[in-house]
Structure 1
Amino acid sequence: MSFALRFILKEMRSSEVITLIIALIISVGTVTSISLFVDRLQLSFEQESANLLAADRVVRSDEPFPENWQQHAQTLGLEHAQRTSFATMIFANDKLQLSQISAVTEAYPLRGEFLVDDQLFAQGGPAKQGPAEGEIWLSSRLASLLDVKIGQSVEVGDKVLQIARYLVIDPGSSTSAFAVSPRAVMNAADLAATHVIIPGSRVRYSLLLAGERNTLGQYESWIKPQLKDGQRWQTPKQKGQSIGQTINKAESFLLLSGTLAVVLSGVAMALASARFVKRHLMQVAVLKTLGATPRILSKLFSLQLFMLFLIGAGGGLISGWFIQAGIASLLSSLMTTALPEPSIGKLWLGIATGFISLLAFCLPLIIRLIQISPLSVLQPSARIEKNALAIYAIGFVGLYGLMCLYTQGFILPTIMTLAIAGVGLVVSVLGWVMFKLGRLATSGATSGWQIGLASLYRRLTPNLFQLLVFTLIIMLGLILVGIKTSLVSDWQAQLPEDAPNHYLFNVQANQVEGINSISQQLDLTSSSWFPMVRGRITQVNEDLVEDLYPEGTPEPELFEREMNLTWANEVGDGNQVVAGDFHAEGISLEQKTAEEAGITLGDKLTISIGGIHYTLPVTSIRSVDWSSMRPNFYVIVPKQTLADYPANFVSSFFVKADQAQDFYHAMSRYPTVSILNVGDLLKQIQNIIAQLSQAIQLVLLCILAAGALVLVASIGSTLEERREEGALLRVLGAKASLVRQALIVEFGFLGLFSGLIAALGAEASLYAVQTFVFKSAASWHPLLWGLGPVIGVVLITSIGVFASRTVLKVPPMHLLREF
């Protein structure tokens, strides 16, 4: 044991062990910093979404909650509040108006805050609590329609309430599908006295919860088995289709960035492990000659690996913690909300990265090293690279396992693994061909560029491995550049600054012209008008829907309720025909809805409108961009089918903040028109995209910095051989300028090849990511094809020549003595 400790302590001072420790610190630190920062961003996105939800979690129900639901939340230490939402008439000054009212308890909202004001149509200021007993807050539009002001009273059922403030935003109902009527908020203590809720009333009850994630998880496990029809558990990700998709897409971006960090860490460990083992060849030979058995050597190296793991993992965790703190600090001024504190539980990923990296990349090489006989090691021709393919295959499997562990899935790891395997194949074939041609073209080399090209083939295996490493690192950088410049930009373009933020419903045909006039006067951006008639699909071909889906059987959304039907002469913005003919006389269905219901072109659907049935074939299938925020429909039918029915019209408008007051004042002439303001939801989505864009820039810098270190380590792995060759050339009379030229040519061609192959690999990876991860149309990235070769030539040549500077500066005899 004493010998083992002395051996280990001595080894800890050697350059190759220090190199491996640094690689381990880079691996653990990179993954730790990225995972901690990504976790903080994800929590931040969730918190911002919770502000719109007014809670961390919500239980919604069409019936009053059992008392023990709230009692159990209190037992677990969760904050809780209740909101009761319903539509009713409000009376004032001999006027009445249908309104959407929320009756809230004292603790509401648990997340976010009200915005209220004393002036009509103003921007509003924050309010942490709702109205007191006997008070009510009216939206500016509702107050205008009723012609009332602060201090006056309104009647809600049998209860008279005093107007205390003008409501600007109610965080829990700002995106509710039921909130198209003018809104008001009252205290839940006054609800019973109104007597407006009677059996058969359409009421939405909400139990709002806030607290620690683990505690919320316990409550979720307890309550979900008790939920019935009309009751559901809601999280911030489920707060509307748009916000949920936005958060999921943001997390996918960040997971991809973290996955690239894992790949980079694996490359760093593979390089360091190979150099570590190569430096121990002579040492193992001497120990075996002195009687050391494989068992003794196994113990020695196991203890050494354990100490390396403790030092490297500990250093990586500390550095990773400070790196993520630095990134968060740099980004804090750009964030709309403060980032939550990092979770200690996320440190396990960095520890697992270090442990698996050592097992996958270092242990197989050490086992191979221990098994080599002293004679074969002492022979100059001996190479540890024997069976290298099988050894690195083990590391490759370990790397895939790390990516699966990090992403908790298989799509991203599979894409990255296939990309790496494809790049490895291209590098092997193309590299061998190019290096061979270079060797044939430089027979009898005397100039610097000839010597440089000849060196590519002379060190074939090391150069092919270096080419693979260079290519992978450049490819990772190009993928992140592609994400930043293309994917995020495309995503931002789908939700521009002038995206519609107001919907107008219940508009009659004779009101369209007047509202268009208001739009023109205020210079508003608007979409087309779409007529809406309610109808229900009752039959598919010869089968009744009720026979296809008996009571108790889950129905596709197309059949479970009445749908808004419309007609259109042309395919609207955000719609694309993927099958069939839109202009044929028949039904056009949204693609995902058709797939869910199992409906294809040619199927005949029977639609019931006002008790009259129409049977029409499905003549086209459309893909719909729901994130466009324009009116879109699942079902479009021929105009003549709906011509005899009175239709309500719908459209969307973009109203700037300084236009809101004039817009609402003008719309007060149309009290029956319902307005849905989704501006808060749009701001939420745009904030997430902006924060993600800024975060990716910092993540990109972090990963590229680590990549530069790996490049240096890669060049250092073959530096000795280059120094030997340079020394011999100088002893034979070659000038330093000739050696420098040879180095520039060798590294320049390596950089050019790696840049071109990296661009190919990045393009293929981005295609797969766009198609299978982000579910969007793939696009071409010409920027990558220009950046790849330029970065490869400039970066690798600069680092390579700088790392090899001793060949040029040190006298030849000094170099020879070292060897």
Structure 2
Amino acid sequence: MNFAWRFMRKEMRSTDVVTLLVALVIAIGTVTAISLFIDRLRLSFEQESASLLAADRVVRSDQVIPPSWRQKAESLKLSVAERASFSTMVFANDKLQLSQVSAVTNSYPLKGRFLIDSKLFGQGIKSSESPKPGFIWISSRLASLLGVTIGQKVEVGDKTLTVSKYLVLDPGASSSAFSISPRAMMNKADLAATNVIIPGSRVRYSLLVAGEASSLNALQAWLAPKLTDGQRWISPKQRGERIGETINRAESFLLLAGTLAVVLSGVAMALASSRYVKRHLMQVAVLKTLGATPKTLSRLFLLQLLFLFVIGAVLGLAFGWIVQNMIAALLSSLVTTALPEPELWKMWLGVATGLISLVTFCLPLMRRLIRISPLSVLQPSARVEQGSVMLYLIGFAGMYALMCLYTQGVMLPTIMVVAMVGIGLVVSVLGWVMFKFGRSVTAGATSGWQIGLAALYRRLVPNLFQLLVFTLIIMLGLVLVGIKTSLIADWQKQLPADAPNHYLFNVQANQIAPINQMSHTLKIASSSWYPMVRGRITQVNGEQVSKLYPDDKPEPELFERAMNLTWAEQVGEGNKVVAGDFAANGLSVEEKVAKEAGLKLGDKLTINIGGVFHTLPITSLRSVDWSSMRPNFYVIVPKSVLNDSPANYVSSYFVKPSQAQAFYHAMSTFPTVSILNVGDILKQIQSIIAQLSQAIQLVLVCILAAGGLVLLASVRSTLEERMEEGALLRVLGARGALVRQALIIEFACLGVFAGGIAAMGAEASLYGVQVYIFNSEPSWHPMLWLLGPGAGALLITAVGVFASRTVLKVPPMHLLRGI
């Protein structure tokens, strides 16, 4: 044990052992950081399972819940509370902000407690009391946007309320942890006075109940036959399952991204171990000559690996803890729930990652070192049997097992491995062509740049591997840069110069004329007015949607929720009929949602509009240009269907920056009208992307560091060859400047090639995001084509020249001694 410890202390001065240790720290730290942060998200939702609903059970409805349901719950001796959630404008200090508002009864919440505070952006104090009538709680973010503090007034529709607390956490909030709209909470007794709930408004009503399990079951049995489309009975288990599935998917995605850092770290370990083995051949031979048995040597090297693993695990876990705290801090302004401290036992995944990496990438090489006979080592011409392909296959088998462990399955890891193999083949072919071309133009090399280009092909396999590694890393970085800095800006640029940037909705028919007069006076361009009525498709060709899509089968978007319906006498701007007759007495459906739902011309849909059922055929399909930023609808119905249904109206406006203040001031005279500022939403999206990308950049930094280790270890694995070349050049009269120039050219060209291929991959990835996610016209990103090769050349040159700096100092005598 003492000898092994002294031996390890001596080896810690070796670059190879330090490389191996740093790679181990990166692998453990990356996985630990991801798993701990995801655990914090999971714990924030699971600390109080019942408080996810603020009750034991909730009935959720798109329509006002009948009073008889509350009466039945009370008759079963259940505690009852009510809640209505909706989006509306909140006014204060000549400012207005679209907010998510909840109106609750005095008994809310039945489970869990609020977190409220008197300080802006405070941590919150627990409270079980809801806002009193005449008062409102607003989130710190909403208070900042409106410029109000506690004690000041805000307007919600026609009702003026006093801010009494800052809302930190609503135990029954239905929004996700990451939310765009700022939140507010008021007493349900003030809701009617606001006049913001009008026919066609999108409101989610909830009846909350709590009590004995037998009473809850009795209420569920009584309600089951009465629940219609748009009404659901929800339990904490169902809510928790959905949250758990979302978090599990996020964890799988992030861990798969972190796998690249683990794989690269493992490769760096293998390369460093290979050089470690070469350096210890003579030492092992001497020990065997002195009587050391394979068992003794196995114990010695296993103890070294154990020491290395313990040190790497401690440092890696500490590194992971710091990184997950940094991620949580970066996302703190987006997370609406408090994140508890992670559970320490969750660190096992990082420890397992380090152990598997060490065993699969290092142990096979150590075994080969132990099995070498003294006689074969002492022969000058002897070579160690490497079996590199088999060693790397063992290593990547371990990595594949880790990916399966991360995702709890084999599908995603298999897809990722196949994709990496495909990318590797493409990069290898392109790299071979470029290296081959470099060799063809360097025949009879005499200058530094010719020697450097020739070296790319001479060390073909190591350079192709380095090319693949840095192509992947640079491509990930370029995609992140492209999304963060230009993608949304490109999408905005594609919008027409006068594309609407404000929507008005919840507008009554008698408000249209004065609003039109206002816009005419202010010279603000507007689109047509469209009536909106809420409706839900309940049957397709006589079959109930609930039977076509049971609970275990996801519904198409057209069926999963109530939607806004309208009527129009002619096809609107940005709409084009692709099949059927728009003027026929039937439904006109947007073609993409129709295709998703498997609908075609002639199919009959039954729509529930305010409790009245209408069955109509599909008589036309439309393509819709959603980027026109004008009001568009999935389904347009005949005017006769909506004649007897109360409707609110929607329109869009293009408001110039110089007109904004006058427009907002004029709209303050219509407090029940909601305004959606699309420009502000785009800014919020950009802010969210920027903060998320900063968090992802931490993982990317780990990947980049692992890639740098691969380059460092790869260069050092060929160090003897490079030293011989350097010595030979010096023997032939080359000066040190020529050797330095050759190294710089070799690594710079490798960086330029990697950056160029990465720019192609990043451009292709951004094309897919633009076309298939943003549904916009693809655009060119010249910045990426400059940034990729430039960053690649600087990065790889710096690391490569640093790793091979010994070559610049090698004397000609080095070559002569080897003869």
Same fold (TM over 0.5): yes
Shift of 1:442: 3.5
For residues 555-598 of structure 1, give each alpha carbon's deviation from its aligned partner in whole angstroms, at most 9, with x where no partner exists. Answer: 8785698764323544677x899x75795856343567546644
What is aligned with 2:670? 667
What is aligned with 1:320? 320
- State how far apart, in whole Å, the 1-side matches of 2:501 and 2:237 are: 25
- State how far apart, in whole Å, the 1-side matches of 2:278 and 2:75 are: 68
Shift of 1:320: 3.0
Q: Which amino acid aligns with 1:667?
A: F
**Tell me, what secondary structure is at the counterpart of 1:617?**
strand
Q: Which amino acid aligns with 1:478?
A: L
CA contact (8 A) 1:60 1:206 kept: yes
- State how far apart, in whole Å, the 1-side matches of 2:685 and 2:80 are: 26
Equivalent runs, 1:182-193 vs 2, <5 Å: 185=187
For residues 282-303 of structure 1, give each alpha carbon's deviation from its aligned partner in whole angstroms, at most 9, with x where no partner exists. Answer: 4445555666665554444333
Q: Which amino acid aligns with 1:736?
A: G
- State how far apart, in whole Å, the 2-side matches of 1:628 and 1:375 are: 80
**Tell me, what secondary structure is at the counterpart of 1:599?**
coil
Q: Which amino acid aligns with 2:480?
A: L
What is aligned with 2:506? 505
What is aligned with 1:464? 464
What is aligned with 2:96? none
CA contact (8 A) 2:38 2:247 kept: no
For residues 637-693 of structure 1, give each alpha carbon's deviation from its aligned partner in whole angstroms, at most 9, with x where no partner exists. Answer: 4x566586666243267999978984665226xxxx675989999998776445324
Q: Which amino acid aligns with 1:531?
A: P
- State how far apart, in whole Å, the 1-side matches of 2:549 and 2:334 are: 54
What is aligned with 1:808? 808
- State how far apart, in whole Å, the 1-side matches of 2:552 and 2:803 are: 69
Shift of 1:103: 0.9
Equivalent runs, 1:604-753 vs 2, <5 Å: 604-605=604-605, 615-617=616-618, 619-620=620-621, 633-637=633-637, 639=638, 642=641, 648-651=647-650, 662=665, 665-667=668-670, 675=674, 688-697=688-697, 699-701=699-701, 703-705=703-705, 707-753=707-753
Where in structure 2 are there 5+ consecutive unaligned residues? Answer: 60-64, 87-100, 139-150, 152-158, 176-183, 191-203
Distance 1:551 1:390, change over 3 A: closer
CA contact (8 A) 1:589 1:636 kept: yes
What is aligned with 2:92? none
- State how far apart, in whole Å, the 1-side matches of 2:22 and 2:132 are: 68
Shift of 1:730: 0.8
For residues 300-344 of structure 1, give each alpha carbon's deviation from its aligned partner in whole angstroms, at most 9, with x where no partner exists. Answer: 433332222111111211233334546666887999998654553
- State how far apart, in whole Å, the 2-side matches of 1:551 and 1:474 are: 45
Q: Which amino acid aligns with 1:651?
A: V
Q: Which amino acid aligns with 1:205?
A: L
Equivalent runs, 1:23-172 vs 2, <5 Å: 23-33=23-33, 35-36=35-36, 42=41, 59-61=57-59, 63=69, 82-85=81-84, 102-105=104-107, 110-111=113-114, 113=116, 135-137=133-135, 165=162
Equivalent runs, 1:15-414 vs 2, <5 Å: 15-33=15-33, 35-36=35-36, 42=41, 59-61=57-59, 63=69, 82-85=81-84, 102-105=104-107, 110-111=113-114, 113=116, 135-137=133-135, 165=162, 185=187, 204-206=206-208, 230-233=232-235, 258-287=258-287, 295-325=295-325, 341-370=341-370, 386-406=386-406, 413=413
Distance 1:8 1:801, change over 3 A: closer
For residues 87-112 of structure 1, give each alpha carbon's deviation from its aligned partner in whole angstroms, at most 9, with x where no partner exists. Answer: 9xxxxxxxxxxx99631337689345
**Tell me, what secondary structure is at the counterpart of 2:362?**
helix
What is aligned with 2:146? none
Distance 1:263 1:793, change over 3 A: same
Q: Which amino acid aligns with 1:318?
A: A
Distance 1:455 1:169, change over 3 A: closer
For residues 154-174 of structure 1, give each alpha carbon's deviation from its aligned partner in whole angstroms, at most 9, with x where no partner exists. Answer: xxxxxxxx9984799998699
What is aligned with 2:141? none
**Tell me, what secondary structure is at the counterpart of 1:358?**
helix
For residues 194-220 of structure 1, give each alpha carbon's deviation from its aligned partner in whole angstroms, at most 9, with x where no partner exists. Answer: xxxxxxxx97323699xxxxxxxxxx9
Q: Which amino acid aligns with 2:786?
A: G
What is aligned with 2:449? 449
Shift of 1:726: 0.7
**Tell me, what secondary structure is at the counterpart of 1:301?**
helix
Equivalent runs, 1:761-776 vs 2, <5 Å: 761-763=761-763
- State how far apart, in whole Å, the 2-side matches of 1:648 and 1:31 are: 53
Shift of 1:746: 1.9
What is aligned with 1:192? none
For residues 404-462 of structure 1, give each alpha carbon's deviation from its aligned partner in whole angstroms, at most 9, with x where no partner exists. Answer: 54456667655653443233223433434444444454444333233223323333333
CA contact (8 A) 1:452 1:743 kept: yes
Shift of 1:718: 2.4
- State how far apart, in whole Å, the 2-side matches of 1:535 and 1:368 are: 72
Shift of 1:232: 1.0
CA contact (8 A) 1:263 1:399 kept: yes
CA contact (8 A) 2:133 2:186 kept: no
Where in structure 1 are there 5+ consecutive unaligned residues? Answer: 72-79, 88-98, 117-125, 141-149, 151-161, 177-181, 189-201, 210-219
- State how far apart, in whole Å, the 1-side matches of 2:130 and 2:751 are: 70
CA contact (8 A) 2:479 2:765 kept: yes
CA contact (8 A) 1:16 1:279 kept: no
Distance 1:690 1:274, change over 3 A: same
Shift of 1:754: 2.3
Distance 1:556 1:8, change over 3 A: closer
CA contact (8 A) 1:29 1:317 kept: yes
Shift of 1:276: 3.0
- Percent identical across equivalent pairs? 55
CA contact (8 A) 2:55 2:109 kept: no
Shift of 1:265: 3.2
CA contact (8 A) 2:736 2:808 kept: yes
Q: Which amino acid aligns with 1:740?
A: R
Q: Which amino acid aligns with 2:742?
A: A
Distance 1:444 1:5, change over 3 A: same
Shift of 1:368: 4.5
CA contact (8 A) 1:84 1:203 kept: yes
Q: TM-score, normalised by structure 1?
A: 0.68
Q: TM-score, normalised by structure 2?
A: 0.68
Shift of 1:21: 1.6
Q: Which amino acid aligns with 1:104?
A: N
Shift of 1:719: 2.8
Shift of 1:280: 3.7
Distance 1:705 1:480, change over 3 A: farther
What is aligned with 1:474? 474
For residues 723-762 of structure 1, give each alpha carbon's deviation from its aligned partner in whole angstroms, at most 9, with x where no partner exists. Answer: 2211221123211222222222222322232223333444
CA contact (8 A) 1:500 1:652 kept: no
- State how far apart, in whole Å, the 2-side matches of 1:246 and 1:486 are: 28
CA contact (8 A) 1:101 1:184 kept: yes
CA contact (8 A) 1:20 1:276 kept: no
**Tell me, what secondary structure is at the counterpart of 2:565?**
strand
- State how far apart, in whole Å, the 1-side matches of 2:429 and 2:339 are: 47
- State how far apart, in whole Å, the 1-side matches of 2:18 and 2:552 are: 64
**Tell me, what secondary structure is at the counterpart of 1:712?**
helix
CA contact (8 A) 1:529 1:649 kept: no
